[in-house]
Amino acid sequence: MDRELSLVVYHSPLFPAHWALYIPSMTDPAIGKIVHVTGDARNGFVHEFKRGYLPADDERGHSIIPLARISASHVVDVLSPSGLLVYTAPDDNLLALAVDNVERELLSIPAPGKSLNVVDSLGRSQGRKVAIKNCQTWIRDAVERLVHAGIVPQEALGIVDAAPKN
């Protein structure tokens, strides 16, 4: 049996939208797991995944965009009688909590580090120019990893590339 993998876009009128990957539970499609990175470009990001996540309970404005159907053999549902379980940790600690192929692949993509330069009081940059990395760049890298692992088809990258940025 196949499972749905979706991109969740949490819209923002001022800042880049926050992106996350969502897989609904087989027993209750209204609940599932979400995998993403949290933080900001100034301080860096960490991996986070939530099991027992209810998109309908999230008050942030969001869209759920289907990315691909994936084999159920790559996904394990972990539902807790106590509700939402949230795991946030540096890269080296969280991988040990992965329960399936999708989580292992996603958590093997490093969370973006600091990618903003510090500016002095006169507005001069104190570092070299760097590419800004955020949750959107991580999702793009993560979906590319799932494509290379044979979990999702190449078309998923086009859907990610066309997703709303705000």
- Counting Cβ atoms within 10 Å, is residue 150 exposed (0-12), middle (13-18) or buried (19+)? exposed
Rounded Cα distance, 95 and 18, in Å: 22
The whole-number pLDDT of residue 19 equals 98
- Got the DSSP string for 28-53? -TT-EEEEEEEEETTTEEEEEEEEEE
Residue 146 makes CB contacts below 8 A (sequence gap 6+) with 5, 70, 102, 105, 106, 152, 156
Rounded Cα distance, 55 and 64, in Å: 9
Rounded Cα distance, 109 and 159, in Å: 19
Q: What is the pLDDT along the chain (166 residues), one digit of tens a residue?
A: 799 999 999 999 898 999 999 999 999 989 999 999 999 988 999 999 899 999 999 999 999 999 999 999 999 998 777 788 888 876 566 778 889 999 999 989 999 998 765 555 555 555 556 678 999 999 999 999 999 999 999 999 999 999 999 9
Q: Is the pTM of this model over 0.75?
A: yes
Neighbours of 71 (CB within 10 A): 13
